[in-house]
Chains A and B, each alone.
Chain A
Amino acid sequence: MRVELSRERVNGELRERVEELSGQHLSACYQCGMCTAGCPVVETMDIVPSEVIRLLQLGDVETVLESKTIWICASCLQCASRCPRGVEFSSICDALRAIVLRKRLSAPKVDADEVSSVLVSEAPQMGVVGALRKLNG
């Protein structure tokens, strides 16, 4: 993958916004890959957690905002629990989703009208409410 490097991108506003919203220091990550190794849903992701952080470090927020990854994270915090540098990847995902959902950059991942009626009648309420809050905003 080609990534264009420039001072403007690396210090860009959007990258700063991600740090502010997530409360995480992106530069603290030294790319050990522990988050990726421990993630229970990594197989479904198109960009793995440590790569997402690397792209953000280089200022390529746009690629990350378009990835499937940010919608797949289940906020289990295994990554955060094991990170030797104290970086919470789950919080970064929440921040990235917030940027998309608050600015309506794309349609919400879960639409309340389209949740299957079987799930609504069978699944615990907390699951449906949780999905709507995390993936609809």
Chain B
Amino acid sequence: MKVPYYPGCTLHERARDFDASARDCAKALGIELEELPIWTCCGAVFPLTTDSVMEILGAVRNLAYAARLGDKVVTLCSFCYNVLKRANKVVRDDPERREKANLFLRADTEAREGIESYLKGDYVGQVDVLHYIEMLRDLVGFDEIEKRVKKRLEGLNVAAYYGCMLLRPANEMEFDDPEQPTIFEEFLSSLGCNVIDFPMKTECCGGFQIVNDEEIAIACSQTVMGSALKRGADVVVTTCPLCRYNLDEKQKEIGERVRDYEKIPVIYFTQLLGLALGLGEEHLDFSENHVDPRPVLAERRLL
């Protein structure tokens, strides 16, 4: 089965480990992620001002590219998922901004004469935006994944960190309960690991404020990681490259400030899935992490 796939900028650069592990896992489960032939940055953040058109154009353009391949597009990065899904809703619900965005798309199509026109008629929201984990649940099924697991991750204590962008605003994202989500826990249970619940799983990591004021990201990361550690997590899994960066890298500073702070690895959920599906270490690339997950995985006899 082929599924249209939007990787986004970060997965093509800083988070290649996320992209590669996701593609290989999908392949092992019988899905080929078909990368959109043309795509651009989605804009990274959804504009919350009601008159924004320019700020959603990148996302709408990508959705229009996706509409050529099918009726859905899958993405992994929480920011891309949030921006694509919310921009899609604007196109569906706001006739004025839909018309303005399509004026740009039409001008684009004319300017690209010679290249195959990417827009067949207007983009009106015909594509559904799916997160990779939703794809696993709805197109493969967590039960089926459980059957395909070659190495159950028994004895590994895993805390699932959701962060903000997958969940909020809940009425638009329709991903899971914004206060007590469980989709990642259900997924992790199918891999056989010991799932750790922790109260800060939906708290912000500081996000893009890392660029403005590093202290904000350090404080936020300390709240999240401290909470996971207290509940006995061996690793924290995430689906967002920015959360991964803040939570993983900022442990450097947290470790210098908090006495006896014990660093734990932060990895992508697809790396854990790959491990359970029996993919070799060469598919999973644990070399990008600040805190190396290999020692704890080896200790639990999973590598």
Contacts and interface: CB of A to CB of B under 8 A. Distances in A.
Contact of A130 (B15, B45, B223, B245): B45
Nearest to A114: B211
Contact of B215 (A40, A44, A124): A44
Given A95-B49, A133-B45, A133-B55, A123 B169 contact: no
Contact of A76 (B10, B13, B43, B207): B207
Contacts, number: 147
A73 B211 CA distance: 13
A124 B242 contact: yes
Contacts of A81: 167-170, 178-179
Interface stretch (A6-14, A15-23, A25-33, A47-55): A15-23
Interface in B198-222: 202-204, 206-213, 215-216, 219-220
Contact of A80 (B14, B169, B241): B169
B265 interface: no
B51 A123 contact: no
A109 B216 CA distance: 15
B49 A22 contact: yes
Contact of A119 (B47, B211, B216): B211
A60 interface: no
B213 A40 contact: no
A67 interface: no
B42 to A, nearest CB: 9
Contact of B48 (A71, A94, A122, A123): A94
Contacts of B220: 40-41, 74
Contact of A94 (B9, B49, B178, B208): B49
A125 interface: yes
B242 A78 contact: no
A115 interface: yes
B48 A76 contact: no
Nearest to A71: B212
Contacts of B8: 126
A124 B15 contact: yes
A119 B242 CA distance: 12
B72 to A, nearest CB: 22
A37 interface: no
B128 interface: no
B75 to A, nearest CB: 12
Contact of A127 (B178, B203, B210): B210
B10 A125 contact: yes
Contacts of B210: 119, 123, 127, 131
Interface in A41-89: 41, 43-44, 71-72, 74-78, 80-81, 88
A131 B209 contact: yes
Interface of B: 8-10, 13-15, 41, 43-45, 47-51, 55, 77, 79-80, 164, 167-170, 178-179, 202-204, 206-213, 215-216, 219-220, 223, 241-242, 244-245, 249
Given A41-B209, A124-B244, 6 more contacts: A20-B50, A124-B14, A125-B13, A127-B242, A130-B208, A130-B242
20 contacts: A40-B223, A41-B204, A72-B212, A74-B207, A74-B209, A76-B164, A76-B204, A77-B164, A91-B49, A95-B48, A95-B49, A124-B14, A125-B41, A126-B8, A126-B9, A126-B77, A127-B211, A130-B208, A131-B209, A135-B212
